[in-house]
């Protein structure tokens, strides 16, 4: 009980598991899981999360993650890292989106945006939830100082590039609406793997965010996604795509790019199986009419 009360990841996992799915078999068929994201077509709505420093998991870990995503015909995100690492990821042929930290020096942010453009990334964005640490002060990430960004600063970042701009770390309607105002092309609904205790599960706030922004931005969901069933639930509640992070790290360590590919494809096959048993033929058709809530999570 003590762990449940505070651990945002456990709360998120429990909320995932609390959602029940009704079955529909008549008129069902093998579905099409392809999806268009930021002007590119992919075979799956499952993307990699914006991971960083994967050399600690496997040699050339970030490059191998990108290659695995390419082999799965999936979108790949890149978190914190050097320019050459991003170039290596893009050179695999993967479609990569670079997520930049909220560096205290805005010149560093602009430089990272330029690096993403020059490396061949298909979009760029910012991880807004790394501005503070857990002790009431500004965050420092691998020795680099971070700062929160104002709406005006974010508008300037968006305006500085022709690439679609994605905001990661949105966990409220208020921030989602500000992202829409700044001209963001997409958001990632996420609590950054429990960066704050007692954070609301992304799927719990997702329907309200979807209602607020509609189809004006692409909505992705992050945190505690472990299976194709989890992906289906996120899609049903309003997501356009779903990020997978820790679930691919074990396969990456064991089998490199092929491990990432196999895990992403296995999860996509699980997604297809749920779609078959709920009679949804395409990703766009999936809706919340098949979701049954556990009353313990009602507001």
Asked if the structure places residue 225 within a domain, the reply is yes
Looking at residue 293, its pLDDT comes to 85
Domain count, the chain: 1
Asked if the structure places residue 43 within a domain, the reply is yes
Please state the rounded mean pLDDT for residues 9-38.
97
Mean pLDDT of the chain: 96
Q: What is the per-residue pLDDT across 252-278, written as a single tens digit (0 to 9) for each? A: 999 999 999 999 999 999 999 999 999
Asked if the structure places residue 291 within a domain, the reply is no
Q: Which two tokens stand for residue 281?
A: 């033929």
Asked if the structure places residue 57 within a domain, the reply is yes
Q: Quick one: pLDDT band at residue 299, thresholds 50, 70, 90?
A: very low
Here the CATH number for the domain that contains residue 69 is 3.20.20.70
Q: How many CB atoms lie within 10 A of CB 145?
A: 13
State the residue range of the domain holding 140: 30-284
Q: What is the 3-state secondary structure (H, E, C) of 235-298?
A: HHCCCCEEEECHHHHHHHHHHHHHHHHHHHHHHHHHHHHHHHCCCCCEHHHCCHHHEECCHHHC
Q: What is the per-residue pLDDT across 137-152, written as a single tens digit (0 to 9) for each? A: 999 999 999 999 999 9
Asked if the structure places residue 10 within a domain, the reply is no
Asked if the structure places residue 298 within a domain, the reply is no
Catalytic residue positions, numbered = 192
Q: What is the per-residue pLDDT across 53-69, written as a single tens digit (0 to 9) for each? A: 999 899 999 999 999 99
Region for residue 73 given its phi and psi (left: phi exceeds 0; alpha: psi -120 to 50; beta: otherwise): left
Asked if the structure places residue 206 within a domain, the reply is yes
| Closest by CA position to 81, among listed 58, 100, 94, 66 | 100
Q: What's the predicted TM-score (pTM) here?
A: 0.96
Q: Report the alpha-carbon angle 200-265-75, nearest 5.
A: 65
| Closest by CA position to 108, among listed 83, 138, 77, 133 | 83
Intra-chain end-to-end CA distance of the chain, in Å: 20
């Amino acid at each position: 009980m003590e762990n449940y009360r505070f651990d945002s990841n456990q709360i998120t996992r429990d909320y995932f598991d609390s959602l029940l799915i009704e079955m529909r078999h008549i008129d069902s068929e093998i579905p099409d899981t392809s999806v268009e994201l930021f002007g590119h077509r992919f075979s799956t709505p499952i993307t990699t999360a914006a991971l960083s420093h994967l050399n600690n998991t496997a040699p050339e870990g970030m490059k191998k993650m990108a290659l695995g995503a390419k082999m799965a015909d999936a979108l790949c995100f890149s978190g914190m890292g050097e320019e050459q690492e991003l170039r290596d990821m893009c050179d695999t042929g993967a479609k990569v989106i670079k997520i930049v930290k909220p560096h205290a020096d805005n010149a560093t942010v602009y430089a990272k945006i330029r690096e993403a453009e020059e490396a061949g990334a298909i979009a760029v964005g910012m991880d807004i939830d790394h501005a503070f640490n857990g002790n009431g002060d500004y965050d420092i990430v691998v020795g680099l100082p971070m700062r929160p960004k104002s709406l005006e600063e974010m508008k300037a970042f968006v305006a500085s590039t022709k690439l679609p701009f994605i905001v990661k770390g949105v966990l409220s309607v208020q921030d989602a609406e500000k992202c829409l105002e700044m001209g963001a092309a997409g958001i990632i609904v996420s609590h950054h793997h429990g960066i704050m205790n007692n954070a609301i599960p992304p799927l719990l706030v997702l329907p309200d965010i979807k209602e607020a922004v509609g189809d004006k931005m692409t909505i992705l969901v992050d945190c505690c996604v472990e299976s194709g069933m989890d992906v289906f639930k996120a899609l049903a509640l309003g997501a356009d795509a779903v990020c997978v992070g820790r679930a691919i790290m074990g396969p990456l360590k064991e089998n490199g790019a092929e491990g990432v590919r196999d895990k992403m494809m296995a999860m996509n096959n699980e997604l297809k199986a749920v779609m078959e048993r709920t009679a949804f033929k395409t990703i766009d058709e999936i809706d919340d009419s098949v979701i049954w809530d556990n009353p313990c999570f009602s507001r």
